[in-house]
Amino acid sequence: MPEMDGGMNATDSDNKDGFLSADEAFMRRCLTVAGNGRGAVSPNPMVGCLIVHDGSIIAEGYHRKYGGPHAEVEAIENARVRGLSHLFPESTLYVSLEPCAHYGKQPPCAVKVAESGFKRVVVACGDPNPAVSGRGIALLREKGVEVVTGVLAAEARFLNRRFMTYIGGQRPYVLLKWAQSADGFIAPAGGCAPCAVTDARLQVENHKLRAQEDAVWVGTHTLLTDDPRLDPRAYYGRPPLRVAMDFRGGLPLSLHFFDGSQPTMLFTTEALAAGEYAALQARVNLVAVPAAEVARPWAFVLSRLAAAGVGSVVVEGGTRLLRQLMAAGCYDEIRVFESACRKETGYAAPDLPDGLCVYRPDLVYPVTAAFPVAQRIRHYVREEVMA
């Protein structure tokens, strides 16, 4: 299995001697700044911006919040309030994604950048959004700005892999996640009661995923056996949209899933939505799946999630749902949370599919006084995401 490290060293423009050029070094900082928007801007991209004058960063900005000011506006305003705007004509503006050129929630950044007096702009990668794609760079050039493109482009695209999938594929980015014992079991045989496979350290990591991805999808059998809350209570941040499917009926309305405590979407049949589950309508978004899609509902579910503005979804199991999504090719990334303990019997975890890259060396949580069993997180990304 090929190895990569989350794109952090997979540059397409590192100098041959291993040193970064000044543009690359500033762009790397720009990508770090962009990452501050993680979990807050989806389905928009994370974007960072720097203003550099005479080799020094005089202002930074990033897209903080969905619908909020873009990174370029933040950086320009940060410089302006400190009385530095007179330096713009001799400064370079670095931005990790092509500036926008359309009037959306904000006026176009390309116009703002040009009108602020910048003569040189460095861009990591283009914006695949058809409303922008190439127009932002063209607009800057039309206004006489020198634009350098493609600096750390692969890293920038990887940082925004959720956005790239959402815009390019009209579906959310799909992360599959499960917890297993060292010998590959996700739950005791029978699956009659919830049973933690990994310890509290990995629960924090799991809840971080819930807080940072837009939605969490769980298998119907898991809903019945584990009655999960699917909230991020061991971390911080906003609760994700909860997602499940049920085409048979019989789910107790007393499940946490139906408690109305966070946004929830149940994909079901028209008959169940109008009948057995009708009482849920005030607190659950019931989506009727067309009869022709029920046997293989994955693409329908994902396209409806995208239409609802879901840029990424983490699928927490169980094994059958995970296997079904793998077989349908509906996944981009996989995280396996593994405990060093052995269970000998139980529900088998899914096998890893072919065509994965190792994202980075395993995150290892050693034995400590408080935690008697070692744990690790294995993290893979599909080759296509890296292409």
Ligand X SMILES: NC(=O)c1ccc[n+]([C@@H]2O[C@H](COP(=O)([O-])OP(=O)(O)OC[C@H]3O[C@@H](n4cnc5c(N)ncnc54)[C@H](OP(=O)(O)O)[C@@H]3O)[C@@H](O)[C@H]2O)c1
Contact residues for ligand X, defined by CB under 6 A: 178-179, 186-187, 191, 197, 219-222, 224-226, 246, 248, 250-251, 316-321, 347
Toward ligand X, which CB reaches closer, 67 or 290? 290
Please state, in angstroms and rounded to a whole number, the distance separating the CA atoms of residues 228 and 255.
8
CB of 268 to ligand X, least distance (A): 10
Q: Name the minimum Å distance from CB 168 to ligand X.
A: 28
The 10 Å Cβ neighbour count of residue 153 is 18
In whole angstroms, give the CA distance from residue 91 to residue 106: 24
Is residue 43 reached through a cis peptide bond, with omega within 30 degrees of 0 on the bond before it?
yes
Q: Closer to ligand X at the Cβ: 37 or 219?
A: 219
Element (H, E) at 177: strand 173-180
d(CA 94, CA 110): 12
Catalytic residue among 3, 24, 60, 72: 72
Least distance in angstroms from the C-beta of 325 to ligand X: 10
Nearer to ligand X, 116 or 225 (CB): 225
* Identity of the residue, 74 or 231, whose beta carbon is nearer to ligand X in the bound complex: 231
Q: Which is nearer to ligand X, 135 or 177 (CB)?
A: 177
Q: How far is the CB of 385 from ligand X (least distance, A)?
A: 22
3-state secondary structure of 69: coil
Smallest gap from residue 354 Cβ to ligand X (A) = 21
Q: Is the dihedral of CA 294, 297, 299, 301 positive or negative?
A: positive
Peptide bond into 67 cis (omega under 30): no
Q: What are phi and psi of 178, to 5 degrees?
A: -150, 165
338 in catalytic set: no
CA–CA separation, 300 vs 293, rounded Å? 7
Residues identified as active-site: 72
